[in-house]
Structure 1
Amino acid sequence: METCQPKRMQLATQKKQPVIPFRPNSTNSFMTPRARYSNEKMREALPIAIMMHELPFNMVDAQGMMWAFQYGILEFQKMSHKTIRNYCIAIYEAKKKCLKALLRSVGKISLTTDMWRSNHQVAEYMVIIGHFIDAGWKLQKRVLNFVKVPAPRCGVDVADAIFKCLKSWGIDEKVFSISVDNASYNDSCLKTLKENLSCESRLVLDGALFHVRCCAHILNLLVQDGLQEIKDVIYNIRESVKYINHNDSRLKKFCDVVEQKHLKERKLVIDCPTRWNSTFDMLSCALKFKTVSASYKDKEPHYNYAPSNEDWEKVEKVCRLLHVFSLAIHVISGSEYPTANLYLAEVARVKDVIDKSSEDEDHFMREMVAPMKIKFDKYWGNAIS
């Protein structure tokens, strides 16, 4: 059962990663049988509906919308967008007060933080999420802060933002660990923050477990280093997909060759170069059509991106290696809480496949995993044996 891939995937996906919306109970708490209409209740319900569906405050300024409300409810009194805004802020403050009361009962809390880019605002925000065990021994997580961090951003600025957040919630003496990605500014950020928190109280094991690096991000760095060894092959496959999908004429010739080869698959996929898992999907898909490229070149004289037989052998070996990484990422990212019993087993499997590949008879495989092994040992060499 420990090595069964479908079982591992089932364990990881039985709880889907949730978004963080404003969700009321499944039952309408504002509906009371035989109750008369109340404008006061409407002033509570409408702001919740606006937050729940992420609508703008000025929705209530839309005359047609208000006519519809007044048609259905004669007693309905129009509210301004300023009133709606004030009610939304009041709801937020009430929820914050409840969360503060809950956090007072928490012994230790771990944090995760990351930067998010808003495309339409062209601005970056930092989100801070707290993870803790409640009185019923259930893992909980709450968004503690979502704050804009202006550029140029340095570690000290990020540390100050986190420290102010912890102070405002009254949990600066309860921090156990903080998980971050491997951005360079995070090293100086966590060093500064560790010093500040050590002045307030003593950290667990003197802070030896304080700085936790994002497991998924480290796996991503490992794969990106390895893929550099076949970047020319990846380029040819990527350009092949672009060439074939460029117009209907080229695609039809490709499908004709596929049909002659009696293959079931019909579609190639393009990758996002910055995401290794999409590159893995592109390579895995292209591998199914490796017998097609030579024949397609005969039909398309301007097609100059066909990988050689040696290139296809490299792709096949790389895909076998990346399959282990792909499963690990699915198990870790597919779980709502990738706790140690999940991710440590996957990291151990990754180490095993890297160690075996470093002793492979093929020189190409040894060259590929050499930088991966160096980076793995840098982050986890002392932890995984």
Structure 2
Amino acid sequence: MESDADSAASSSNPRTLMEYANSSSTPSPSSHFDSPPHHPHFPSSAPPPLAGLLPSNEFEMLPPCNTITNKKRKRPRTVLGVWNHFTKIEGCDPAELKVACNYCGRHYASDTKKIGASIMKCHLNSCKEYPYNLEYPHQKNVSFKDRKDDEYVGQVKAFNKEACKAACARMIIKDGLPFTLVEGEGFKEFCVELCPEFDPPSSKVIARDVYQLYLEEKKKLQSFFMNNNVMVSLTTDTWTSIQNINYMVLTAHFVDSDWIPQKKILNFCQIANDKGETIGKLIESCLIEWHIERFFTITMDNAKTNDVAIAYLRGKLKNWKNGCVLEGEFLHMQCCAHIMNLIVTDVLNEQNNLIDLIRKAVKYVRSCPSKLLEFMACAWKEKIEFKKLLTLDVSIRWDSTYLMLEAACKFENAFNRMEEEDKQYVSYFGDVTPQPSDWKKARVLVQFLKIFYDITLIFSSSLKVNSNLFFIEFAKIEKLLLDWMVDKDATLSGMASNMKVKLHKYWGSIEKINKLFFVAHVLDPRFKLSFIEFAIDKLYPQEVSEKILQGVKDTLYRLFEFYVASSTPADTQTLNGVQPTNEVNSSCAHGEEKGIMWEFKRRKMDSSYHKKNEVDRYLMELEEDKDNAFFNVLDWWKLNSTKYKVLSLLARDVLAIPLSTVASESAFNFGGRILDPFRSSLTPKIVEALICSQNWLRSIPLPFHICAYDDCFELCQDVEKGISGNGSSSPWTPMLTFD
């Protein structure tokens, strides 16, 4: 009773915080006072609005408002979503549960079974005390991003609902996401936390926005082709949906005015059949739709139907003004990656028994974790150093077969030890395990596959120009095969002879190869004509080499004359000569002795030099350093475009010619290209809109046929290892990274 009286007295005459601080640290019962009751209208995290109107010594009398009751309660449990902004009122009728807004103190019923949280969400959108509700509609927030996005660092932006919807549509396009993503519960919850003002659109609305964005971007690209009169090189490829609907993709390749290579998917349209005339007519209609009146080459797979399509286009384009270079004589470019695939396919089919034997050994090791641990123990005992483990191949991708064989050959001794220690391994093979002769053949096969693997990566590169590299890689193959054919190793020489036959089977004689491959090499200032002269003299008889060299020169001069005739006067005003430059040899300027470089520069300034055309002057100049790893052929032509005004235009268009119809991620694929289930479920127009607009909007093109989960296995293992904290292992314990 005494305590209650003291408490009541204390409550009726509360002391300020200053008085309490000056009192004893252990107050007597008579001086003890309870915490004042919580105020229902003011948050505890900030002073109440009347703080500025009260005396400083009375500010402490204002009660906090974490709760609505007089009883001291525990810290509320953190709840996701809208519950973070409300506090449950304790002591009320259990049948009528209520909550209070943490910002304005307004009460709402909170029976989730009857009412739900929607009423609380609506209150937050209109609560004047909620700090994330902008008082002024045009008020802006400052957003900060990573340093790599310098253009967005410290950007000031105001909330814009339409801009958010447009960004959502771009996200769907760029990342290849399904339209139903915006209706997912998790996505909506994420949007509430990220930006409560944004209400995600429905899947129908986002699909409409995506298609509208595609039409807008298409109009911009059409205007670009119409106004810039760009010379493009085309590639075609065929695709199939899981409903067996056939599509043709048409892609334009060119180098823009800033000397940056561009790759734009123009159409991904349904095609009735694979007849050559049908393909030709479809390509013609696409060119007309895009207002493209000039194109250089078209790269297609080796097929008779494509030959018919080329003949159709060649006949139609002759009537276009400057639409076809030299009447389409060099219109058809062979797809180098496709030819590499044909050669490798034949070789692998002949070595199928050997590959199956090694694949079976790898499959046994990968069959279960215990077998993998046993194999790793064998590798550790054999002192085999490695960073990657065995990996199984995919039947339709020969690059995976090459990588499987390459990895397996490194573990030959481990397989031999497993054969000695594991009886199940022997019984699994039926007493026919890989023998030393099999491993020897496998290593020889890996040598050949590595050549074609590296070259295919170069030929199918889509991030930079590569037509200037064709002859170098082709000459490498020819020289290696000639050397291996005379090797003392019968296995190596036999396989090389077989490969040589297949190379000529699919490529034909060198005289029949499109001369633009060689012209592109000549237009690389590191090589010009010198490497071609040297290589063909080494690889072919004299009469053949002379014929090839003369054909390359004739083609280069004919192309230059065509560009002179079709160029504007501004481009040709210096064709017959250039004004002498004010170049002065630095040695002479300092009074030093005249050297060979001074003599060379004097010859350049001779009048006879300036009377030559751009091709002659280009070939007379010294070659660039071949060992410069940072050399960029487009940058060189950009810097010298004023010196070679017309020849630079020719170089820009020739270097833009693609060597492959597909990018490197699908260049090794034996099978046909099939759309994923999501895109296969859409109408052809929407499929075209998604694929084309993704190519136009992304800064780095995303392969729309590659599974998004290819690298997830290694990622998941890294996450599991990090969570478990198991960083130690025995010397032979496998790190399960099957790259």
**How far apart are residue 366 of structure 1 and its match?**
3.9
Structure 2 CA distance, aligned partners of 1:170 and 1:78? 38
Q: Residue 385 of structure 2: which of 256, 264, 271 is its match?
A: 264
Which residue in 1 is equivalent to 2:318?
A: 198
**How far apart are residue 184 of structure 1 and its match?**
4.8
What whole-Å deviation, never above 9, does each CA across 1:307-344 have from its counterpart, x for those lacking one? 22222222222222333223223333455124222333
Letter in 1 for 2:222: K
Given the alignment of the two structures, is residue 95 of structure 1 paired with residue 195 of structure 2, yes or no?
Answer: no
Map of 1:1-385 to 2, 5 A cutoff?
A: 26=149, 33=156, 35=158, 37-57=159-179, 81-104=203-226, 105-118=228-241, 123-150=245-272, 153-171=274-292, 173-200=293-320, 203-265=324-386, 267-298=389-420, 299-300=422-423, 301-302=426-427, 303=429, 304-334=431-461, 336-377=463-504, 378-379=506-507, 381-382=510-511, 383=513, 385=536
Letter in 1 for 2:454: L
Letter in 1 for 2:392: I
CA contact (8 A) 2:298 2:331 kept: yes
Structure 2 CA distance, aligned partners of 1:68 and 1:295? 54
Cα 1:272–1:51 shift into 2, 3 Å: closer
Structure 2 CA distance, aligned partners of 1:132 and 1:168? 18
**How far apart are residue 194 of structure 1 and its match?**
2.8
Cα 1:239–1:143 shift into 2, 3 Å: same
Structure 2 CA distance, aligned partners of 1:269 and 1:65? 36
CA contact (8 A) 2:391 2:407 kept: yes
Letter in 2 for 1:353: L
**How far apart are residue 144 of structure 1 and its match?**
0.5
Which residue in 2 is equivalent to 1:22?
A: none
Which residue in 2 is equivalent to 1:6?
A: none
Structure 1 CA distance, aligned partners of 2:343 and 2:452? 10
Structure 1 CA distance, aligned partners of 2:352 and 2:501? 19
Aligned-pair Cα RMSD in Å:
3.4
Q: Name stretches of at least 5 consecutive residues in structure 1 with no aligned partner.
A: 1-24
Structure 1 CA distance, aligned partners of 2:264 and 2:248? 14
**How far apart are residue 26 of structure 1 and its match?**
4.8
SS in 2 for 1:126: strand
Bigger share in helix? 1
CA contact (8 A) 1:155 1:189 kept: yes
**How far apart are residue 296 of structure 1 and its match?**
2.7
Which residue in 1 is equivalent to 2:124?
A: none
**How far apart are residue 242 of structure 1 and its match?**
1.5
Structure 2 CA distance, aligned partners of 1:194 and 1:163? 10
Letter in 1 for 2:449: L
CA contact (8 A) 2:458 2:466 kept: no
Structure 2 CA distance, aligned partners of 1:250 and 1:223? 32
Structure 2 CA distance, aligned partners of 1:146 and 1:223? 29
**How far apart are residue 58 of structure 1 and its match?**
5.0
Which residue in 1 is equivalent to 2:701?
A: none
CA contact (8 A) 2:390 2:408 kept: yes
**How far apart are residue 255 of structure 1 and its match?**
3.2
Structure 1 CA distance, aligned partners of 2:173 and 2:245? 22
What whole-Å deviation, never above 9, does each CA across 1:195-251 have from its counterpart, x for those lacking one? 333344563233232111111221222222233443221121111112232234544
Structure 2 CA distance, aligned partners of 1:80 and 1:231? 52
Structure 2 CA distance, aligned partners of 1:70 and 1:221? 54
Q: How many residues align?
A: 356
- Most deviating of 190-199 and 349-358: 190-199
- Most deviating of 129-138 and 192-201: 192-201
SS in 1 for 2:318: helix
The alignment's TM-score, normalised by the length of structure 2, stands at: 0.43
Letter in 2 for 1:364: T
Structure 2 CA distance, aligned partners of 1:78 and 1:294? 60
**How far apart are residue 62 of structure 1 and its match?**
6.1
Cα 1:81–1:241 shift into 2, 3 Å: closer
- Most deviating of 292-301 and 204-213: 292-301
Letter in 1 for 2:344: V
Letter in 1 for 2:354: V
SS in 2 for 1:291: helix
CA contact (8 A) 2:236 2:300 kept: yes
**How far apart are residue 165 of structure 1 and its match?**
1.1
Structure 1 CA distance, aligned partners of 2:187 and 2:433? 59
**How far apart are residue 99 of structure 1 and its match?**
0.9
CA contact (8 A) 1:229 1:367 kept: no
Structure 2 CA distance, aligned partners of 1:196 and 1:248? 62
Structure 2 CA distance, aligned partners of 1:268 and 1:336? 30
CA contact (8 A) 1:156 1:188 kept: yes
Structure 2 CA distance, aligned partners of 1:286 and 1:58? 44
CA contact (8 A) 2:359 2:392 kept: yes
% identical equivalent positions: 30
